[in-house]
Amino acid sequence: MSEGKDYTIAAVDRAMVVLEALAARPNQGLTELAKSLGMTKSLVFRILFTLEERGFVSRDAERSEYALGHRIGVLGECLGKDGGLLFAARPVMDWLRDVTSENVNLVIRDGTQSYVLATRPGRHSMRLFAQAGRFGPLHAGGSSQLLLAYAEPWVIEEVLSKPLETFTPYTITDPDKLRQTLERIRASGYNIVTNDLDEGAFSVAAPIKGADGSVTASISVAGAVMRLDEERRAANLEAALEAGRRISQKLAVGGVLKAG
């Protein structure tokens, strides 16, 4: 039997690594990027220059820092035009932000990480961990924990088998306590957390189901804990669950249309 061929194009692979690094942490300088990626500065510069020319990377000339460019957003728009998650979620995210006045996050799972697909800023100024294009943990955060709760058993075991990073004094780092939390989420069908990823912040997360009925994403309302009284807690939860249902229904219809 002949050996499998490697069709990987190294230059393309390195460019993707750079883009993923900027997605995980925007506004990095050339030296910082090269060091974290284990590449030479000259190589990273050429990659960044090429991506900037194509609009996939933007550069802040004043601070000499790089971030994802507008072409990333254009590709995201194209992705959503065929009944995909982004296309289905956009108007619902706008509605959810308007009825709650809080930050709204659309999150998916990428392996053993969470990934913020899109956000809507709330009416109140507050910088949160969740930013569009950012990877995060699965053991902390409203949407992240919810996605972990509904993940395949091997994903849960892999996350629990490794040290759980502490983000605040309230982050769950005990595997047994995390298991209990995941069981609670599956039983209730939603997740509400406070202070675990951003101290002083809350997250109310609801599931989004794909055409096959499985949980494929999560939508959450997030803001300052000081605004989360009992009335708003109930209102935010009701709104988040409704948003999840609306997006799920759109995805279900899209799936039926494609199958037909």
For the record, the structure tokens of 180 come out as 């209990």
* pLDDT computed for residue 125 by the predictor: 67
Same fold, 10-71 and 82-259: no
Q: Over 90: is that where the pLDDT of 141 sits?
A: yes
d(CA 109, CA 203) in angstroms, rounded, equals 17
Note the pLDDT tens digit of each residue in 174-194. Answer: 999 999 999 999 999 999 999
Confidence of residue 259 (pLDDT cuts 50, 70, 90): very low
- For the chain, the domains span 10-71, 82-259
Return the H-helix or E-strand segment holding 105.
strand 103-110
Q: Determine contact, residues 30/44, Cβ cutoff 8 Å.
A: yes
Place of tokens 């942490």: 25
Q: What is the structure's pLDDT at 118?
A: 87
Domain 82-259, classified CATH 3.30.70.360, yes or no: no
**Are the beta carbons of 68 and 28 closer than 8 angstroms?**
no
If you average pLDDT over residues 166-172, what whole number do you get?
95
Number of other CB atoms surrounding residue 176 within 10 Å:
9
**Mean pLDDT highest for which of 51-60, 68-77, 120-129, 237-246?**
237-246
Of the candidate CATH numbers 3.40.50.2300, 1.10.10.10, 3.10.580.10, 3.30.450.20, the domain formed by 10-71 belongs to: 1.10.10.10
Q: What pLDDT was estimated at residue 191?
A: 97
Burial class from Cβ neighbours inside 10 Å (0-12, 13-18, 19+) for residue 222 reads: buried
pLDDT value at 79 more than 60: no
